[in-house]
Chain A
Amino acid sequence: MTTAIADPVLEVHDLTVTYRQKPALWDIDFGIPQGVLVGVVGPNGAGKSTLIKAIMDLVPTASGYANCFGQSLDEVRQRVSYVPQRESVDWDFPASALDVVLMGRYGKRGLFRRLSNRDRRVARECLRTVGLEAFADRQIAQLSGGQQQRVFLARALAQEADLYLMDEPFAGVDAATERTTLELLGELRDQGKTIVVVHHDLQTAAEYFDWIVLLNTRLVAYGPKAEVFTPELLQETYGGSLTLLANVSELARKQNLPVRE
């Protein structure tokens, strides 16, 4: 199922990503309009994180491309914010919560430029928004998992972007963080920003997001959740394994051959 989107904020065209020759994503094609909150949903190993990493140019693509605001990412990086998975960094690093949020200002400030007082003000404001103003000087290892996730969220806010790509911001967080995150995403959407969230939990996905991208190595469906959350499409995403596709992938991996010329 595909819907033609006029003036998409995010456009993914024929995107294929391989990992050690094995396709992690096959021919992904979709567009996201402005001002929606999108959940990327699918089973483990469906390539959800790979999809937003490919959009952020963090993994090499075998074919296809992703455009943001009709331009290539390099031209609009200032308007795109990326929130990696919490486990992707070492939280024992010698930094305070404020230090991490300030990293969201690095892109605006530019290479080798010192941060300004305005950067510090914005960073503190973002920490307040996620309810962590009292923890600004706390060493990040001393924060709970949910608080660490909120520090990442505050860093994304500090980027003052228009498109947000978030990798599992709800994974393993406490109820307070879940609530704060959800409220925040709603506010961003109401400000006309577009948010794409990788999400692992099918139950809550229907409640959290306006749009859903159903992914299982290939794109199963995307669109407003009422249209996408059908038993057939969910079955297609989670249920029957695509044996032939998996076998072809496996063949490519075993013989170390590319799936693209």
Chain B
Amino acid sequence: MPQWLHLDDPNLWLVLAGTVLVGAASALVGVFAFLRRRALVGDAVAHSVLPGIALAFVVGQSRSLAVLLPGAFISGLLALWSIDAIARNSRIKPDAATGLVLSVFFGTGILLMTWIQRSQGAAQAGLDRFLFGQAAGILPTDLYLFAAVAAFLAVCIAIALKEFRLLSFDPEFARAIGMPFRSLEGLLAVLTVLAVVIGVQTVGVVLMAALLITPAAAARFWTDRLGTMLLLAAGIAAMGSMAGSMVSYAVPRQPTGPWIIVALSALALASMAFAPRRGWLAQRIRLAAYRRKIARENVLKAFWHAAEEQRPEVASVPGAGHPTSPVLSEAQLLERRAFVPRSLRRSMRKLARQGLLQAVQAQPDAVSAAGWQATPEGLRAGARLARIHRLWELYLTEKLRIAPDHVHDDAEAIEHLITPELEAELEAVLDHPERDPHGSAIPRPNGTGSRGKDRTEKPINPKAG
């Protein structure tokens, strides 16, 4: 155990428990702000609690949270109501209304704080903490308040999960089935303001929006379920709050709030990068796999083109027999297409493992050199690509009226993308054509390859037979 981590220090536990409760509570309501695209509204509410805190201080002449937080609550709610009222009753759009309310409330708050500082002197030192937060000042009584608010938020969301889900996804439908839309929206607003009110104490009004939104944004990368997303967001917020509190506790003179936000942002960035499926890395891997598939398919297509050139009379004519694959060396393949040699060798190894390509030894009669040959299945896969390529070219020229000399590059990309279902649709739309716009025969799905087990394609179109 490192020297600096005094786990027996009760103050550390106070700060940890306090920031975790506040973080998790903010994350829960933040999920709905995030899903309803109200992130900036959260920011506006956070900034708008400041005048309430200052006025409560003037009226109550006390720095205790019991006096200041009700002021913050009323002021935050008033801000939300103002945004709504302005957007509803004037031509000012919601985004502008949000900005307007944020600056007016925040400006008023700063003005009041300055005035308090001038007239009341040192006593206002306690109000500064609401600007940037000061978790170290959490008292045991504050902790009870945080726990009560966090529990209240969690219970409300658990009870109204179904309603909040519909409210966030499809507000029109919610109203159409007679849900008390305004009341539910009001409840959600109250919960948001409550989370902000306990949050500003630890991270301050300036960073509060990050505490609301960042955990939700991070959680969204990991799940497609609302329930899971709520739990994950709360968990991520708890982790970030703990990490931030630890740093500020271990290193002298480091503020807690900003470190919590730094930790949360790191978690969000990590989610963005490494989450399965939605993450950046997963997408890169998917893209790389697709590129390798394209490379392999281009090899098979090259074998088909070679077979076609060798025996054009049997290549594409239904029932005329099956062309066999010529033996091609690596050099011959490179001549046919600008493969990257290293990726070509990798593609061929993989194709050989898949049983689509086989190595051929040099014949003693010296007629054919050593090289590679497509298996019947491999050749059929190549034929399918040539077929989609030519169908697509035909589709572009016939249906989209694109000039025949402009369609090749498009087809080169699309041939790897099209599914058997789309292939069948394409064929039907074009009424089972025989030739592409350049005059090349379009290979039939059953015109090539063996009658053996079909591994690379599904039955494509019964009419084509």
Contact = CB atoms under 8 A, between A and B. Distances in A.
A109 to B, nearest CB: 8
Interface string A94-122: 11100110010011010110110000000
Contacts of B435: none
A103 B170 contact: yes
B183 to A, nearest CB: 9
Contacts of A93: 35, 168-169
A88 B178 contact: no
Contact of B169 (A20, A90, A109): A90
B175 A106 contact: no
Contacts of B37: 90
A56 B177 CA distance: 9
Contact of A94 (B172, B180, B225): B225
B187 to A, nearest CB: 11
Interface size class of B (residues with CB under 8 A): 20 to 34
11 contacts: A58-B172, A77-B177, A95-B165, A95-B225, A99-B226, A103-B169, A103-B173, A106-B162, A106-B166, A111-B179, A155-B173
Interface of A: 20, 53, 56-58, 74, 77, 80, 82, 84, 88-90, 93-96, 99-100, 103, 106-107, 109, 111-112, 114-115, 139, 141, 155, 159
A208 to B, nearest CB: 23
Given A88-B170, A93-B168, A111 B180 contact: yes
Interface in B90-123: 91
B152 to A, nearest CB: 15
Contacts of A80: 176
B223 interface: yes
B173 A94 contact: no
Contact of A58 (B159, B166, B176, B179): B176
A107 B160 CA distance: 14
B166 A103 contact: yes
Contacts of B165: 95, 99, 103
B163 interface: yes
Contact of A111 (B35, B163, B176): B163
Contacts of B179: 106-107, 111
Contacts of A56: 175-176
Contacts of A88: 170, 172
A106 B224 CA distance: 21
A206 to B, nearest CB: 25
Contacts of B224: 94-96, 139, 141
Interface in B165-223: 165-166, 168-170, 172-173, 175-180, 220, 223
